[in-house]
Structure 1
Amino acid sequence: MLLSVITNSAVYKHPESYVLARNTYYVESFNNNMNIFQDKRISFSDSQYLARSQLAVCHWNENVDRPFTSVWNPRRAEAPRSRKGKKNYKAPIYHYRDSTWKRFINNIFQ
């Protein structure tokens, strides 16, 4: 009976539809980044909201897979998941700021 329940499930019959949904790291990372640029406690105008959204996308795209320098491994018995380690990332880069500023200045002085 258990075997028939498993083999009749949608996940079992169509695994290709669920392969890409197994890791939510990038979605959570992007949402965290959006929260940095768009504080929920502040009301923004439409133009500010759009500008902040676009800056958040530029920042995330530039820093999403940045390398890490080391892995920190705390030893705590009460938190076994912490044994996995925490990556110490290199500092984020902000090249998008320079390129956006140059485009803005070039638009003004053309």
Structure 2
Amino acid sequence: MSGTEDILETARAWRAEGEKVALATVVETWGSSPRPAGSRLAVTETGRLAGSVSGGCIEGAVADIARQVMQSGTPQLLDFGISDERAWEVGLACGGKLKVFVEPLA
């Protein structure tokens, strides 16, 4: 099983346990990005995580938005970008840009 399949299986298992779950997927990258398009992060309402969309503070921001998406039921497209000069400060060590789609799982 690939990493993506593992994350989806984990998300399915959490849903079967009665947890609310959101799935975040990297949909676009530009320049240097720590994770490629297609990378995923599953998040539960209780704070469990599986996978990764970037690491650093971006991961925390995505998890926070994922919890909001679970509450509202409305997907969001997040856009992160940073100059090379500030990259280390915010957790994107390579600079670059990425878009992450966050959706609730039903």
Name the TM-score, length of structure 2 as normaliser: 0.30
Select the structure with the greater relative contact order (CA < 8 A; seq sep ≥ 6).
Answer: 2
> Per residue, is there more strand in 1 or in 2?
2
Structure number with bigger Rg: 1
